[in-house]
Amino acid sequence: MSLPFTPEPCDGRADKIVCRCLNVSEAQVIQMIARLEVRTVRDLSQHTGAGEGCTCCHAKLAEYLEKFSCEAAALG
Ligand code: FES
């Protein structure tokens, strides 16, 4: 008997939401940083919409930029 395919993460949680106002997920933010080499919160907002509401997620977006910009640059 085979198990049904489930696209959800193994821990059963949906993708983590980084910006609740615009419903932007962690995966979307990381993809933009890696693919488009986005380096500022303003650029990230333009590409994903994240941070265009109450702005309380800006500090979190900056953390993602700092962490994943370095990793993307290291991968070349
Ligand atoms: S939580 Fe991102 S703009 Fe409000």
Select 17-75's CATH number: 3.40.50.300, 1.10.10.1100, 1.20.950.20, 1.20.140.10: 1.10.10.1100
Q: Which of 17, 22, 63 to probe ligand 1 with, by most ligand atoms within 8 A of CB? A: 22
pTM: 0.76
The response to whether residue 41 sits with its C-beta less than 6 Å from ligand 1 reads: no
Ligand 1 contacts CB of residue 56 (under 6 A): yes
Which of 69 and 17 is assigned the larger pLDDT? 17
Q: What is the pLDDT of residue 71?
A: 67
- Model confidence over 7-52: pLDDT tens digits? 444 454 568 999 999 999 999 999 999 888 889 999 999 999 999 9
**Which atom of ligand 1 is nearest to 58's Cα?**
2
Task: Dig out the tokens for 52 from the structure.
Answer: 């265009």
